[in-house]
Amino acid sequence: MRWLATSAPDVVCLQELKSVQGDFPVDAIRKVGYHAVWKGERSWNGVAILARKREPILIRDVLPGNIDDEQSRYIEAAVDGIAVASIYLPNGNPQPGPKFDYKLEWFDRLVDHAAKLLAQDAPAVLAGDYNVVPTDFDIYATRSYKDNALLQPAPRAAYAKLLAAGWTDALRTFHPDDPMFTFWSYLRNWWPRDAGLRLDHLLLSPAIASRLKAAGVDRDVRGEPEASDHAPSWIELKSRRRGTPTRKRRSAVRAT
């Protein structure tokens, strides 16, 4: 709530709500000027999209392609003519194993759905915790992570496939020479040592990529008491009206 008050983003994507559908704090969010759509899940997962002073129009709250998948990891809504998706991709650890297989299956479905969005020439933003470190440049060190699902060739290839299809990695576009970490574990003093990973990504479709004005990570939020181990990642888009900027920000928040 403090971050919403100080940053006042137009759109916010949340992951890992860790609450059932009826426990989402929608009343408190409305009091500070936001409307929301969300998909909760008991104990784990959960995704939401908030919009300031406007109603997000729910498009879907499940990733297509597997009718048996009941985990709450994807929600998509229209906000001001933009299709915005909040994504919480499976972690996949330990690997190899069923959790890693599920990660790859889920990622394949995301690639397929993203291709359909591109085919519609829709302005779209795929924002969230992808649980993939795209390259070794996106992590403070790799030796201790050689067996981690976040760095394996298959999920990295799936992420690269999204970029090859035409999606723009907003953070890397604006910061080609900075690791731009978004996650610091609470283990082994990772935050004080700046031992981070870039797990959170905002991908823009070609129909909206030309409007990208700025992108960044609100690192200071990670240092606040009882903060999430993810820091809010954000983008700023040029408005279609009278040249004034419209902000589209994203936050990955761990409920406690």
pLDDT of residue 219: 97
Per-residue pLDDT tens digits for 46-61: 999 999 999 999 999 9
Residue 123 lies in a domain: yes
Confidence of residue 248 (pLDDT cuts 50, 70, 90): very low
Distance, in Å, from the CA atom of 174 to the CA atom of 55, rounded to the nearest integer, reads 30
Residue 69 lies in a domain: yes
| Full-model pTM | 0.93
Question: What's the pLDDT at 251?
Answer: 36
* Phi, psi torsion values for 44, nearest 5 degrees: -130, 175
With respect to residue 203, please indicate whether it lies within any of the assigned structural domains.
yes
Q: Express each pLDDT in 85-102 by its tens digit.
A: 999 999 999 999 999 999
Q: Which domain holds residue 108?
A: 2-250
- The pLDDT > 90 percentage for the chain reads 88
Looking at residue 169, the DSSP 8-state letter turns out to be E
DSSP string for residues in 230-244: BPPEEEEEE-SSTT-
Decide if 54 contacts 81 (C-beta within 8 A): no
Q: Give pLDDT tens digits for 24-36.
A: 999 999 999 999 9
Is the pLDDT at 254 greater than 50? The verdict is no
Say what the pLDDT of residue 198 is: 98
| Residue 70 predicted with pLDDT over 60 | yes
**CATH number of domain containing 78:** 3.60.10.10
Residue 256 has pLDDT above 60, yes or no: no
Number of domains in the chain: 1
Q: Which amino acid is at 159?
A: Y
Band of pLDDT at residue 250, cut at 50, 70 and 90? very low
Average pLDDT score, the chain: 93
Give the tens place of pLDDT for each residue, 154-202.
999 999 999 999 999 999 999 999 999 999 999 989 999 999 999 999 9
The verdict on residue 95 lying in a domain is yes
List of residues 6+ apart from 194 with CB closer than 8 A: 140, 181, 184
| pLDDT(228) > 70 | yes
* Residue 241, pLDDT score: 61
Whether 255 maps to a domain, the answer reads no
> Residue 52: its pLDDT value, please?
97
Domain-embedded: residue 256: no
pLDDT in tens, 196-222: 999 999 999 999 999 999 999 999 999
